[in-house]
Each structure stands twice: as structure tokens, then as C-alpha cells.
Amino acid sequence: MANGANHKLSRTLQRREDATGYLFMLPSLIFFVGFVIIPMFICIFMSLTNANMHASKEVSFIGLQNFVKLAKDKEFLAALKNTFIIVLVSVPVVCLFSLWVASVIYNYNGFALSAFRCIFYLPVVTGSVAVTAVWKWMYDNYSGIFNIVLKETGIIEKNINWLGNSDYALWCIILILLTTSVGQPIVLYVSALGNVDQTLVEAAKVDGATDTQVFWRIKWAQMMPTTLYILVITTINSFQCFALIQLLTKGGAGTNTVMYYIYYTAFKLTEQTGHFGYANAMGVVLAIFIGLLSAVQFKLAQEK
Amino acid sequence: MNKITSPRTKAYRFICTIILILLALMFLFPLYWIVTGAFKPGADIWSVKPVWWPSEWTMQNFENLLNKRSSPLFEITIPFSRYFTESGKNIVLFQGPTAPAAYRWLINTVFMAVAAMILTCITATFAGYALAKKRFRGRGILFGLIVCAMALPKQVILIPLLKEISFLELYDNIWAVIFPTVGWPFGVFLMKQFSESIPGEILESSRIDGASELKTFTTIVVPMVKPGIGALAIFTFINSWNDYFLQLLMLTSNANFTLPLGIATLQGETSVDMGLLMAGAALSALPIIIVFLIFQKYFTKGITMGAVKG
């Protein structure tokens, strides 16, 4: 990078760089191309066919029929709506919550800082299966701690079937998702706060700016790249919320999401003709949505 | 002015600390509930009054869990020998003693996480260095592709991935989980970020001294990006341990399960025995939490380096 960044390399040198560059890339490319890129292209191709799990059934090219069918599929549209509710609720909440936590713990000394950082990270490390297992119990109709405590304190009279009631189920899942999403943003915000240009902060304070003003006008502005990164990873993370739904509700009680519906169509609707192609079409639609959303976030952050 | 705002700031900070401690307790509660629940006797589990502390510590839940299923502790098979047997299964050369399946799952999970970690670290260190320091043609496109692929949820490509794995005859084999994990391009991205900081002059002088590309890589690049490798190692280990989705997709037989998948399967079967469930959750979560606490420092570094704009 240091030399030759701006002027063109000579032909032999360029050839040498090409050769060594690709040789170094090769081990990684085998896995990346083999298990990500090729499946991606197969996915797009299969979304235009009526492929099935059982190879015995005939496969034919059906153009955009799967996508037309998707636009009319009520279940898919409901799943899409739920997915967007999850993303639109969790992304801003995660962002603001972690910003607040980070700005508080940033003032602490080393031990307290890393202790808090650790605690908020623990649900991520615990793993989705263990986390869902314990929440499943806590939400349980009879032996769940929520119902027991709410009944003891007289807030509710009858047990609430948290995960079976479509008024609550999606929100219960969002709550779990939130606890497993804030760990990384907090770590990121703490380090971003450490990188804020202190001379600007001092200068503003001398000019009589309040703490609030310093925070929003200077620190927030300087942390914009971090915020953008957090927005993107939280969006991706929220879209991937699969284990929670598969293990807690199996998409029932109005908690179906596109993620789960893809899995369900691919492996549970095996009798339906063309289910593999159909599931792939969903995958393509989802990828387009994620791409669009990331692009919008980039655009917004750049304007600010 | 400072004299006026300072008590208010202090009060504000005090309130913040109180709220923060309450929040931290809420975040710790599920973990506390797993650990105490795993040791609670059935009466505590089913009590309609809150039982905050086990009335008696029992190993019953763990015993139930371990007795649930069993499998050989390990098996050494001859690869590809299935083409020559009538049953279509590989010839088992050596079989370990029959043990509770959970032990086998633990062995599988550790093997999977370690293999994914080693492979990812090696491939990503090479590739990250090349992307950061080699000016080969097409690297811009390649890097763009890597960033885009990072945003793609695995569920999108689940069917093609499965087809490919069955084509490679790796279905229901632990390598079917390892390979796609290694292919996930986050590691390359992270190692590129770390490699950017290597000064070009050092690489140049090593080249002038006549060192080969590989020698430069092993003697100069690797020592300089060591913290990055540490971060990537712990990151990959934890991610692959907890990648329930891929495990669910690729593994079907009891003896090939991982710990999270095995626990999830038991969860489906015995949705009523919460004590057993907590024992399983404790078993799958505690090893990884311990690993995390030991290598915490690297972890934080890895997370923050990923965010530095590349």
C-alpha cells in the first residue's frame, strides 16, 4: 500500500502481484466460493424452477411463477410483516439501549467496565439453544416464573399463555432477541467513545456547552460510522432470528418469519410440488430486502 | 458553573448506576435460572410459588439427561469404505465404550469448533494479508463480494448448501458443519482489517533482503497480526459452537449430534421436564462461557476491529 498505490505497476510486477495475491487467497477462496458463492447462484437458479426434495419428481424451468405465487401467499406476507416488525422494533431499541449503557459504563474504571461489558455479552455467548430453553421455562404457562410472580403480586388473575397467545408471542420473542443482541453494540460503542477527539470536547466545554450538547453535537456525530455498522449488524442479526422461533413457537401464534417459513417450506412441506424452488424464491426475496435495507442505512448515515 | 452542575451530574450518574445494576441483574437472571434449575428437585420445578433457591441440590436432572440416550463414545471408521459394504455404511475400525450420548455430543462439538477455528484462522490470515497488501487485479470486486456475502443470512442458501453437501457425500457428517463455517467470509474481513496496519516498508525491506513471499508471511506478517488471529480464533470457536441452524440442517443421527443440537432435540421430545432441559442448557452453555471468560480480552478486540472502516 505504501508504495505504488497511485502509479501503475509494471507489467511483470503486476503479474507477480496477481500470482502471489491469488495464491494467498486460494485456500480461503475454495471454501468461500464452494460454500457461499456457488450456493448463492444455485439459489437464484433454483428459484426459477419447481425443484423438489425428492429427485424422482421432474424439474422444469417455470420463470417467475414462484415470485408471483409468493406475492399472493397470505402466509408468506404475514411472515414478511412479522420479520419487518422484528427488525423495525429491535434495531432502534438495540441501538439506543446500547448507546445509553455504553455512555454510562464508559465513565467507570477498568474492572467495573469490563464486568458490565461481560454481563451484557453473556446471553450471546450462552448460545441460542440454552437461551431459548430457559426462556421457554420462564414463559411457561404453569411453572413459568413470569406467571408465578405476576400472580403472587396480584397483577394478573389467570395464567397467561405467553407463547401461545398471538397478542403476546411475537413480543416475547422480540424481548429475548433484544437480550441477545445488545452485547456487541455495547462493546463497539464503548470503544468508539474512547476514540472521540478529546480536544473538541474540551473546546466545547470551554465555550460553555452542556454535557447533553457535547454528547449529541460532538460525540454522537463522531460515532456515526460505528452507529452505521451497528445498524447494519443488528439488522442482519434480527433477520436471522431463527432458533428462537423454531424452538419456541414453531411459527405458531402469529410468530412466523420469513427465515422460519423458508425452513418450513423446504423441509416440512415436502409433499407440495416444487417446494424447494418456492423456498429458494423466498430466499431471493429476503436477500433483496436485506440488500435494500443496508443500502438505505448507508445512504442515511452518509447524508448525516 | 461547575459548582452548580456537579451535584446534579452526580445524582444523575447515581441513578444511572442503579438502573444499570438492575439491568445487569436482569441479564444475568436467565443464566442464574439455568444453573439453579439444573440442580432443583422436581418439587421445586413444579412449584406454583416462586422458588428462588433450590430447596435441595440434586444431580437427578443430570442423571436423567445422561440416561436419556446413549451412543459409543467415539468411532474410528475407514473413509469411503461404504462403497464396499452391503449396508452402505462405513466399516467401523474401532469403537469406544458405550456412554451417555451427551458425552459424545460434547466430543463432537469440541472437535467441530476446534477444526473450524484452525481452518478459519489459517485460510483467513492468508487471504486477509493478500487483500490488504497485495495489489492483484480483481481484489476490489473480491472484497465487495465478501462484504455483501457477510450480510447474507445462511437461511437464504440452505437448500443449495444441503444439495452440495449431499453431492459431496458429507451429509450427517461433522465436516458438513465445519466447511460452510470456514467459508463464511467474516474471518477474511477481520484479518484484512488487522493486516492493514502492517507498515509496507517492513514488507518491502524483507523483499529486498531476498526473502520469499512465504518467508515474509511467516516471519513478518504472522507475528504482527497475532492479536487478530487470537480474536478470530475465539470468535470462530464461539460462533461455530452456537451455530444451531447449520447443525440442525446437516446432522441427523444421534451419534453425530452436537451439544446444542442434542439439547434442542431433547427439548422437542420432553417439553415437560424443565429440570432436564435446564441440565442440558447448563451443559451446553457452561463450557463456552468459561472459554469466553478466559479469552475475553481478545474477543473485545476482535469485535472492535471488525468495525473499523475498511
Is pLDDT above 70 for B299? yes
Q: Are B283 and B102 in contact (CB under 8 A)?
A: yes
The alpha-carbon gap from A135 to the nearest alpha carbon of chain B, in Å, equals 7
Record: contact B27-A123, CB cut-off 8 A? yes
3-state class (DSSP) for residue A155: coil
The alpha-carbon gap from A75 to the nearest alpha carbon of chain B, in Å, equals 18
The alpha-carbon gap from A101 to the nearest alpha carbon of chain B, in Å, equals 7
Record: contact B155-A148, CB cut-off 8 A? no
Q: Are A230 and A55 in contact (CB under 8 A)?
A: no
Count CB atoms within 10 A of the CB of residue B8.
Answer: 10
The alpha-carbon gap from B156 to the nearest alpha carbon of chain A, in Å, equals 4
The alpha-carbon gap from B39 to the nearest alpha carbon of chain A, in Å, equals 14
Give the distance between the most distant pair of CA atoms in chain A: 81
Output the CA torsion A102→A104→A108→A113 (10° steps). -30
User: Taking CB atoms and an 8 Å cutoff, what residues of chain A touch B142?
Assistant: 25
Is pLDDT above 90 for B154? no
Interface test with chain B among A30, A36, A44, A260, by most B beta carbons within 10 Å: A36
Same domain, B149 and B277: yes
Give the chain A residue nearest B5 (alpha carbons): A210
Return the C-alpha cell found at A248. Answer: 419456541
Place of cell 417455470: A62
pLDDT for the residue B39: 86
User: Taking CB atoms and an 8 Å cutoff, what residues of chain A touch B197?
Assistant: none
ipTM exceeds 0.85: no
Whether B76 maps to a domain, the answer reads no
Identity of the amino acid at B16: C
Same domain, B147 and B252: yes
Whether B82 maps to a domain, the answer reads no
Q: What percent of chain B has pLDDT over 70?
A: 87
Of A40, A116, A192, the CB nearest to B20: A116
What's the CATH number where B164 sits? 1.10.3720.10
pLDDT for the residue B1: 39
Going B187 to B188 to B190 to B191, the CA torsion angle's sign is positive
Return the C-alpha cell found at A121. Answer: 455479552
pLDDT for the residue B205: 86
Record: contact B34-A145, CB cut-off 8 A? no
Of B24, B50, B182, the CB nearest to A145: B50
User: Taking CB atoms and an 8 Å cutoff, what residues of chain B touch A35?
Assistant: 161, 164, 179-180, 182-183
pLDDT for the residue B309: 44
The alpha-carbon gap from B9 to the nearest alpha carbon of chain A, in Å, equals 9
Same domain, B154 and B298: yes
Record: contact B200-A236, CB cut-off 8 A? no
Whether B67 maps to a domain, the answer reads no
pLDDT for the residue A97: 92
pLDDT for the residue B80: 66
pLDDT for the residue A304: 58
Of A3, A128, A149, the CB nearest to B204: A3
User: Taking CB atoms and an 8 Å cutoff, what residues of chain B touch A134?
Assistant: 30-31, 33-34, 37, 278, 281
Mean pLDDT rounded to a whole number for chain B? 82
Same domain, B47 and B143: no
pLDDT for the residue A98: 92
Is pLDDT above 50 for B218? yes
Facing residues of B99 across strands? B71
Q: Of A47-51, A265-269, B259-263, B265-269, which gets the smallest average pLDDT? A: B265-269
Give the chain B residue nearest A25 (alpha carbons): B127
The rounded distance, in Å, linking the Cα atoms of B78 and A173 is 45
Q: What is the mean pLDDT of residues B279-299?
A: 86
Interface test with chain A among B16, B121, B134, B154, by most A beta carbons within 10 Å: B134
Whether B235 maps to a domain, the answer reads yes
pLDDT for the residue B87: 67
Whether B124 maps to a domain, the answer reads yes
pLDDT for the residue B270: 60
Please state the domain count of chain B: 2
pLDDT, tens digit, 9 for 90 and up, residues B23-82: 999 999 999 999 988 888 877 777 777 778 887 788 778 887 777 776 776 777 666 666
Same domain, B48 and B110: no
Show me where the domains of chain A are located.
Answer: 75-303
Is pLDDT above 80 for B98? no
The rounded distance, in Å, linking the Cα atoms of A156 and B196 is 58
Give the chain B residue nearest A232 (alpha carbons): B151
Is pLDDT above 90 for B116? yes
From residue A276, alpha-carbon distances to A63, A123, A262, A263, A280 in Å are 14, 34, 9, 10, 6
Ranges in chain A, pLDDT < 70: 1-8, 56-57, 301-304
Which architecture does CATH list for A75-303? Orthogonal Bundle (1.10)
The alpha-carbon gap from A81 to the nearest alpha carbon of chain B, in Å, equals 18
Give the chain A residue nearest B155 (alpha carbons): A259
Same domain, B48 and B149: no
Record: contact A122-B159, CB cut-off 8 A? no
Residue B44 is part of which domain span?
Answer: 1-58
User: Taking CB atoms and an 8 Å cutoff, what residues of chain B touch A242?
Assistant: 155, 245
Record: contact B151-A290, CB cut-off 8 A? yes
Position with higher pLDDT, B87 vs A62: A62
The alpha-carbon gap from B246 to the nearest alpha carbon of chain A, in Å, equals 11
Position with higher pLDDT, B168 vs B119: B119
Of A36, A140, A151, the CB nearest to B183: A36
Facing residues of B95 across strands? B75
pLDDT for the residue A5: 47
User: Taking CB atoms and an 8 Å cutoff, what residues of chain A touch B32?
Assistant: none
User: Taking CB atoms and an 8 Å cutoff, what residues of chain A touch B152?
Assistant: 36, 40, 287, 290
Q: Kindly indicate the confidence band of residue B14, based on its pLDDT and cuts at 50, 70 and 90.
A: confident
Place of cell 430447596: B55
**SS3 assignment for chain B:** CHHHHHHHHHHHHHHHHHHHHHHHHHHHHHHHHHHHHHHCCHHHHHCCCCCCCCCCCCCHHHHHHHHHCEEECCEEECCCHHHHCCCCCCCEEEECCEEEHHHHHHHHHHHHHHHHHHHHHHHHHHHHHHHHHCCCCCHHHHHHHHHHHHCCCHHHHHHHHHHHHHHCCCCCCCHHHHHHHHHCCHHHHHHHHHHCCCCHHHHHHHHHCCCCHHHHHHHHHHHHCHHHHHHHHHHHHHHHHCCHHHHHHHCCCHHHCCHHHHHHHHHHHCCCCHHHHHHHHHHHHHHHHHHHHHHHHHHHHHHHHHHCCC
**SS3 assignment for A235-262:** HHHHHCCCHHHHHHCCCCCCCCCHHHHH
User: Taking CB atoms and an 8 Å cutoff, what residues of chain B touch A226?
Assistant: 307
Same domain, B167 and B249: yes
